[in-house]
């Protein structure tokens, strides 16, 4: 079952988005049928569907919903509301924009674009997994032979995409080829995407893993218990600065201290060359409640407020490599995302 997909219903030829409600995992595997842009926006904002590549697909499929439900004027207005429903992952706006370009040609044309973005995401995920594996083999040949200890944050697997995902796709490849010793999955406060979703995906794979509190990660690295850190990305700017789940920047500092590779895995669609540097990225703040309320229990005295940035920005100089579906960029060697694409797609 895919985290997000499109189905054609028999009623009047209208279609709908099917998505896994990720807020209910790992307790329940439930799918939702989404037929309007308002329903989709609600799902995006409460993180029923999440992760940069999945949001790109959701954005494009959302324009297809808008097109089939209205005329081009109402569809464009709906699409523009959808485009800004979460600000940090560039994929959402990108997916909406791609689909909007087809709006004047009709619903079927929009849907064709959306389905192509979905299919490209699958191809891209497989290409990243292979390229990421090859990079690790290159950087860590001896560790690869004895089994890698990898550390990751948030959820970057099939749930965050259409299939396989980004950083967790690479980890899956390492596991499938027999080179994985263990995965440390940061729990990822405040919404526990690591403890809930990544641990669920790794369990389903049968891959060895342990969930850790976020603040244990740098200590484990300093103890020499981690060979490499692999993370996803929500937006990579022209100079290589990378926005990803809050906590990622600390991991990059920990990796530098420990002298181990810090690798970002993301499709080319996550690269935003229109934005020069990371300090220009709009970082979503998700408010107080997510931080002070855990499982319905209020943890802080009444009136306590929180700063709750959902993402942070890792400076390019801390990133050993950015692995995309088309190339491996080495910011630490002065290569930039804005440089011309060097390699051909190898999927
Ligand atoms: O707030 P979320 O759960 O949407 O955040 C997701 C992340 O930060 C992921 O690491 C990122 O989108 C890459 S997903 C392949």
Question: Would you say residue 136 lies in a domain?
Answer: no
Residue 232, ligand 1, Cβ within 6 A: yes
C-alpha separations of 129 from 86, 226, 326, 347 in Å: 27, 20, 11, 10
pLDDT of residue 9: 81
173, two tokens? 């490849």
Same domain, 8 and 72: yes
Same domain, 146 and 87: no
Q: What is the per-residue pLDDT across 234-291, written as a single tens digit (0 to 9) for each?
A: 999 999 999 999 999 999 999 999 999 999 999 999 999 999 999 999 999 999 999 9
127 C-alpha to center of ligand 1: Å? 19
Look at residue 341 and tell me whether its pLDDT is greater than 80: no
Residues 81 and 155 occupy one common structural domain: no
Backbone phi and psi for residue 192, each to the nearest 5 degrees, phi listed first: 60, 35
Residue at 183 is within a domain: yes
In a domain, 129, yes or no: no
Cβ 233 under 6 angstroms from ligand 1: yes
- 229 plus 174 within the same structural domain: yes
pLDDT exceeds cutoff 50 at 346: no
Report if residue 133 sits inside a domain: no
The DSSP string of 85-106 is SS-S-HHHHHHHHHHHTTGGG-
The DSSP element (H or E) to which 39 belongs, if any, is helix 37-45
Instruction: Give me the number of domains the chain comprises.
Output: 2
Residue nearest atom 8 in ligand 1 by C-alpha distance: 245
Instruction: Report how far residue 216's alpha carbon sits from residue 202's, in angstroms, rounded to the nearest whole number.
Output: 20
* Cβ of residue 50 lying under 6 Å from some atom of ligand 1: yes
**Ligand 1 atom at minimum distance from 156 CA:** 15
Determine contact, residues 131/142, Cβ cutoff 8 Å: no
345 is a domain residue: no
Q: Is residue 114 located within the same domain as residue 153?
A: no
Same domain, 148 and 195: yes
Distance CA 168, CA 150 (A): 10
Active site residue ranges: 234
Q: Which domain holds residue 10?
A: 4-120
Where residue 104 sits, what CATH number does that domain have?
1.20.120.420
* Pocket of ligand 1 contains residue 53 by CB under 6 Å: yes
Query: Can you tell me the distance from the alpha carbon of 52 to that of 40, in angstroms, rounded to the nearest whole number?
Result: 15
- Same domain assignment for residues 227 and 315: yes
Ligand 1 atom closest to the CA of 91, numbered from 1: 12
Please give the distance, rounded to the nearest whole angstrom, from the Cα atom of residue 158 to the centre of ligand 1. Answer: 12
191 Cα nearest atom in ligand 1: 3
- Looking at the domain assignment, is residue 311 inside a domain? yes
pLDDT digits (tens, 9 = 90+) for 177-192: 999 999 999 999 999 9
Tokens of 338: 């804005």
Q: Where are the alpha helices (DSSP H) in 196-332?
A: 199-205, 217-222, 248-258, 289-292
ipTM of the complex: 0.98
Q: Where are the alpha helices (DSSP H) in 70-190?
A: 72-83, 90-100, 107-139, 141-146, 167-176
Contact of 13 with 106, CB cutoff 8 Å: no
Could you tell me the two tokens for 48? 């029923």
Can you give the pLDDT at residue 194? 98
State the pairing for strand pair 271-272/209-212: unpaired
Best residue for ligand 1 mutational test, from 19, 59, 160, 291 (most atoms within 8 Å of Cβ): 160
Residue 203 has pLDDT above 70, yes or no: yes
**Does the beta carbon of 166 sit less than 6 angstroms from any atom of ligand 1?**
yes
| Same domain for 180 and 303 | yes
Binding site membership of 156 for ligand 1 (Cβ less than 6 Å): yes
Residues 173 and 58 in one domain: no
Determine, yes or no, domain membership for 70. Answer: yes
User: What's 251's domain CATH number?
Assistant: 3.40.50.10470
Asked whether residue 165 falls in the same domain as residue 262, the answer is yes
Nearest to residue 183, comparing CAs of 215, 205, 164, 158?
205
Question: Is residue 46's pLDDT more than 90?
Answer: yes
| 242 and 98 in a common domain | no
11 has pLDDT over 70 = no
Q: Whose CA is nearest to atom 13 of ligand 1?
A: 232
For residue 47, the CA-to-ligand 1 centroid distance in Å is 10
What's the pLDDT score for residue 12?
66
End-to-end CA distance of the chain: 22
**50 CA closest ligand 1 atom index:** 4
* 343 domain-assigned: no
Q: Is the CB of 160 under 6 A from ligand 1?
A: yes
Q: Whose CA is closest to 268, among 132, 139, 120?
A: 120
Q: Give the residue from 59, 87, 120 where a domain finishes.
A: 120
Residue 10: pLDDT band (50, 70, 90) is low
Question: What spacing in Å lies between the alpha carbon of 104 and ligand 1's midpoint?
Answer: 32
Work out the mean pLDDT of the chain and round it to a whole number: 96
Q: What's the pLDDT at 344?
A: 47
Residues contacting residue 178 through CB under 8 Å, at least 6 positions apart: none
**112 lies in the same domain as 177:** no
CA of 232 to the centre of ligand 1 (A): 7
Phi, psi of 49 (to 5 degrees): -120, 135
- Percentage of the chain beyond pLDDT 90 is 95
Predicted pLDDT of residue 310:
98
- Report yes or no: 314 and 244 within 8 Å, Cβ to Cβ: yes
Give 325 Cα–ligand 1 centroid separation in angstroms.
17
Torsions phi, psi for 294 (to 5 deg)? -120, 120
Do residues 248 and 153 touch, judged by C-beta distance below 8 A? yes
What distance in angstroms lies between residue 52's CA and the mean position of ligand 1's atoms? 6
């Amino acid at each position: 079952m895919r985290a997000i997909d499109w189905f054609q219903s028999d009623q009047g030829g209208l279609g709908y988005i099917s998505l896994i409600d990720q807020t209910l995992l790992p307790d329940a595997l439930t799918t939702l049928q989404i037929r309007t842009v308002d329903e989709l926006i609600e799902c995006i904002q409460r993180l029923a569907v999440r992760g940069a590549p999945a949001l790109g697909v959701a954005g494009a499929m959302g324009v297809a919903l808008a097109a089939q439900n209205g005329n081009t004027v109402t569809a464009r207005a709906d699409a523009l509301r959808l485009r800004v429903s979460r600000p940090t992952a560039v994929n959402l706006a990108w997916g909406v924009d791609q689909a909007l370009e087809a709006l004047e040609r009709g619903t079927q044309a929009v849907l064709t674009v959306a389905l192509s973005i979905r299919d490209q995401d699958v191809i891209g995920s497989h290409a990243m997994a292979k390229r990421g594996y090859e990079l690790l083999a290159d950087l860590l040949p001896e560790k690869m032979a004895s089994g890698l200890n990898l550390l990751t944050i948030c959820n970057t697997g099939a749930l965050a995409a259409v299939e396989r995902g980004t950083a967790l796709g690479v980890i899956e490849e390492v596991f499938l080829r027999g080179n994985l010793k263990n995965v440390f999955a940061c729990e990822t406060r405040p919404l526990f995407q690591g403890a809930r979703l990544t641990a669920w995906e790794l369990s389903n794979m049968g891959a060895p893993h342990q969930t850790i509190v976020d603040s244990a990660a740098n200590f484990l690295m300093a103890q020499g218990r981690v060979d490499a850190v692999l993370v996803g990305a929500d937006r990579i700017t022209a100079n290589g600065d990378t926005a990803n789940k809050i906590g990622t920047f600390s991991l990059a500092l920990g990796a530098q201290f420990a002298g181990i590779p810090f690798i970002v895995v993301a499709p080319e669609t996550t690269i935003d060359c229109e934005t020069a540097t990371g300090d220009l990225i709009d970082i979503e703040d998700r408010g107080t409640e997510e931080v002070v309320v855990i499982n319905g229990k209020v943890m802080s005295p009444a009136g306590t407020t929180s700063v709750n940035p959902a993402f942070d920005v890792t400076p390019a100089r801390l990133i050993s490599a950015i692995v995309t579906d088309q190339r491996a960029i080495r910011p630490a060697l002065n290569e930039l995302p804005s440089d011309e694409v060097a390699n051909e797609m190898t999927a």
